[in-house]
Amino acid sequence: MNPSDQLRIVLIGRTGNGKSATGNTLLLSRNAFHSLQSARSVTTDCVAHTVQRTDDSGRAKSILVVDTPGFFDTDTNITNEIVERKIDSQIFEMTSPGVHAFLIVLRIGRFSPEERNTVDFIRTIFGPNAANYCIVVFTHEDQLEGQPLDDFIASSSALQELVNICGNRKFAINNRLLGEPSERKTQHLLGMIQRMVNVNNGTCYTNAEYERIEQKRRKEEAERKERERKQKEEYETS
């Protein structure tokens, strides 16, 4: 298959926001990813599924969707550090040669301090350039109750900032829809992803980019520890 006929998508977000349900909608399946309304992550490892779909032009596409463990989980056995290690060891092997789209999954009606930390956490892991490959997806669209998505976003400066960082790419979805309404929504979202891929000239977020960010973080952490060590020595000898 021609690389241009493939889309590799990674779902990222806080536990309970509907990542797995969104993945199932994209895959036209209710059971591909285990999905429950829970404060505890149902997904404990990165999981990938693929489906063959047809885009608006009738062209066949292979859609690879990767679900990830949720950040800021209530389960103390799934810390952010563990999530980061799982991403490091699993995502890029699953999505080789790279990720076309990160879908930051948020939930309508909930953008808490933890939610803002999720965004910071994503940028810390993947670096600021990852925003070029991000779309903010809001689940539970029905809770807007007719309110335009832009108005909902504008009600929170932090939420507006996040969407701006992601190139104003945002999408609302109701994963409870079935049949034709669900298919229309899914096609619109896939169309948005494809347009973003076109803007990026078909490039992906690659493991090499992640490694550069990781090396920078490790260097900064080592420098921080060295400064603390010297400060401690100076304090003890003073």
Q: What is the mean pLDDT of residues 203-219?
A: 74
**Pairing mode of beta strands 101-107, 134-139:** parallel
pTM for this prediction: 0.81
Q: What CA–CA distance (Å, rounded) separates 216 from 58? A: 43
> How confident is residue 22, by pLDDT bands cut at 50, 70 and 90?
confident
pLDDT at 226 over 50: yes
Most confident among 28-37, 42-51, 77-86 (mean pLDDT): 42-51
**Closest to 193 measured CA to CA, from 48, 56, 71, 18:** 56
pLDDT digits (tens, 9 = 90+) for 88-102: 778 778 888 889 999
pLDDT at 204 over 70: yes
Q: CATH: 3.30.2020.30, 3.40.50.300, 3.30.70.20, 3.60.21.10. Which one for 6-206? A: 3.40.50.300
Q: What is the mean pLDDT of residues 43-55?
A: 80
